[in-house]
Amino acid sequence: MATTEILEQLIKDPDKLKNLVDEVKDLAFLYGIVFRTHETPNSSEVVTYAPFTLFPSPFPKAAFLQALALQTHFNTLVNKISQDPDFLEEALAGTVQADDFTAKLFDIYRKVQQEGRTQSIVVGLNRSDYMVDQREDGTVSLKQIEINTISAGGFGVSDRLSVVHRHVLKSVGLLEESRSVPDNNRTPGMCAALAKAWELYGERRAVILFLVEDIELSKLSHRYIEKELWKRNIPVIRRKFDEVSRNGSLNADKRLFIDGLEVAVVYYRYGYMPDNYTAQSWDARLLMERSRAVKCPDISTHLAGTKKVQQVLARPGVLEKFFPDQLQVVEQIRATFAGLYTLDLGPEGDKTLTMALTAPERFVLKPQREGGGNNIYGSEICQVLQGVKDSTARMAYILMDKINPTPVQNYLLSRGTPLKITNCLSELGVFGAYVRQGKEMVMNECVGHLLKTKSSEHSDGGIQAGVSFLDNPLLV
């Protein structure tokens, strides 16, 4: 590969490397690829460049196209699951016994179901993540890591990183290769779904409420999205859980009001982790879920994105139920599933337990958590499973085959981190956007992609966690 030769040259020529890195950091600022700093996440005075890779990473073109082609089917699947109470009830029965967070979400779900839904419109903005598994026989295959149905980030300020990466390739003489970095303009597509839902809600003065966190590290990406909506004359407000709980209320026909403004759409950029909630925020979440406002996502779509649901989908016959008479779609989706195993009480879960304890290095143990840094790997799998193996507590987890992508060398750039050549692993995310009204999908699209790259020293990932870096595929 030509990029490998360039890397070898740069390793030997630190001055040239430094010049290139300085140039590319400058470019990142010029293209607005900026991030707040971990030291001052709430300051509008200080920014740095978002963490990114010096070069785009080689990624098999066939696998890339395969992932893009699947996205509308995954949108459909998530949407169908979210409307299937029997499925959700059965899939999550054990999990809610063992995991307090999922139980609380499920409790809200039940209350909304019992009361009856007042809003039939739902917006789904999700991201399906994949790694390319390198098998021993030399073949590669695209495997899904997970699907994120709430607060799926990684678009916004970094949309034009593809332009920066093309520039880098050109500046080291790889003009031909620069054409193999695909365009990526995903924010307008994601915003189009929010805008569509707002329009269908049908109240010109109503706002889109971004439900946001206290520590606003990714605020500039939110701003990027907000700006797209304001361009369409859609008013946006930002509120935290405690503000909703203090100032939010429902009127007689369950319209949601906050500070005198009617809310057409609630877009959750927070609320996916237990520590995002106090007792009051749980009440605020329930208030929003009960309301007539369109939710992105609604509580059932949130639950459809749990790791437990992912595992249940991999059981024989389950996909067929969601895609009757669409065998080809079933096969396409199933081809991306890695081995996923239950830890529910019973003989099947016992078998998983033995398998994991015998060869923990082959697996990843996953709790029902999001945002990176929560999975368990290697010998720690044995420690954790030994502690829970005879109790209902084990049902909080699922087990998954470990995917093994081929490491590729690159430089990972982030503020204050010394420059060093690093063995890296990449994960491709594909963004899906849909809007459902009643039973009808009024929008269902694949709107772009994200490549995240990390040092192979790390098992887990996460951009905010400081482990993963923004990247682009260099299609090969």
What residues line the site for ligand ADP (CB under 6 A)? 129, 145-146, 338, 364, 366, 369-372, 374-375, 400, 402-403, 427, 460-461
Residue 394 known to bind ligand: no
Closest residue (Cβ) to ligand ADP? 461
Place of tokens 């927070």: 270
E-state strands within 87-181: 121-134, 140-148
Q: Which of 314, 391, 352, 306 is nearest to 82 (CA)?
A: 306
Cβ of residue 153: shortest distance to Mg ion, in angstroms?
A: 10
Residue 454 known to bind ligand: yes
Place of tokens 């829970």: 388
Q: Which residue number, 28 or 152, has a Cβ lying nearer to Mg ion?
A: 152
Run of H or E residues at 449: strand 440-455
Q: Which of 164, 155, 165 is nearest to 185 (CA)?
A: 155
Q: How many residues does the chain have?
A: 476
Cβ of residue 423: shortest distance to Mg ion, in angstroms?
A: 20
Q: Which of 3, 122, 12, 57 is nearest to 406 (CA)?
A: 57
Site for Mg ion in 450-469 (CB under 5 A): none
Residue 457 known to bind ligand: no
Q: Which does 460 bind (CB under 5 to 8 A by kind): Mg ion, ligand ADP, none?
A: ligand ADP
Q: What are phi and psi of 277, to 5 degrees?
A: -120, 140
How far, in Å, are 80, 318, 319, 321, 465 from residue 324 at the CA level? 12, 10, 8, 6, 40
Q: Which does 113 bind (CB under 5 to 8 A by kind): ligand ADP, Mg ion, none?
A: none
Q: Which residue number, 385 or 400, has a Cβ lying nearer to ligand ADP?
A: 400
Q: Which does 112 bind (CB under 5 to 8 A by kind): ligand ADP, Mg ion, none?
A: none
Return the range that interacts with Mg ion (CB under 5 A); candidates 83-91, 106-114, 191-199, 370-378. Answer: 370-378
Backbone dihedral region of 72: left (phi > 0), alpha (psi from -120 to 50 degrees) or beta?
alpha
Q: How far apart are CA 250 and CA 268, in angstroms?
A: 18
Tokens of 293: 């406002």
Cβ of residue 273: shortest distance to ligand ADP, in angstroms?
A: 9
Cβ of residue 200: shortest distance to ligand ADP, in angstroms?
A: 30
Tokens of 336: 């991306």
Cβ of residue 298: shortest distance to Mg ion, in angstroms?
A: 18
Q: Which of 273, 321, 297, 287 is nearest to 90 (CA)?
A: 321
Count residues contacting Mg ion (CB under 5 A)? 2
Burial profile 276-294: b = 16 or more Cβ within 10 angstroms, e = fewer: bbeeebbbbbbbbbbbbbb
Of 133, 213, 370, 471, which one interacts with Mg ion (CB under 5 A)?
Answer: 370
Q: Which residue number, 189 or 367, has a Cβ lying nearer to ligand ADP?
A: 367
Q: Which does 402 bind (CB under 5 to 8 A by kind): ligand ADP, Mg ion, none?
A: ligand ADP
Cβ of residue 452: shortest distance to ligand ADP, in angstroms?
A: 7
How far, in Å, are 106, 262, 305 from residue 150 at the CA level? 15, 23, 8
Residue 133 known to bind ligand: no
Q: How far apart are CA 85 and CA 80, in angstroms?
A: 10
Cβ of residue 2: shortest distance to ligand ADP, in angstroms?
A: 27
Q: Which residue number, 152 or 244, has a Cβ lying nearer to ligand ADP?
A: 152
Over its C-alpha atoms, the chain yields an Rg (Å, rounded) of 22
Return the range that interacts with Mg ion (CB under 5 A); candidates 75-83, 187-195, 362-370, 433-441. Answer: 362-370
Residue 415 known to bind ligand: no
Cβ of residue 251: shortest distance to Mg ion, in angstroms?
A: 35
Residue 366 known to bind ligand: yes
Site for Mg ion in 138-157 (CB under 5 A): 148
What residues contact residue 107 under an 8 Å CB cut-off, 6+ apart? none
Q: Which residue number, 24 or 398, has a Cβ lying nearer to ligand ADP?
A: 398
Cβ of residue 138: shortest distance to ligand ADP, in angstroms?
A: 19
Q: How far apart are CA 235 and CA 249, in angstroms?
A: 19
Q: Which residue number, 213 or 370, has a Cβ lying nearer to Mg ion?
A: 370
Residue 367 known to bind ligand: yes
Q: How far apart are CA 208 and CA 202, in angstroms?
A: 12
Residue 71 known to bind ligand: no
Binding residues: 127, 146, 148, 307, 366-375, 377, 400-403, 427, 454, 460
Q: Which residues are annotated as a binding site for substrate?
A: 127
Residues that bind Mg ion (CB under 5 A): 148, 370
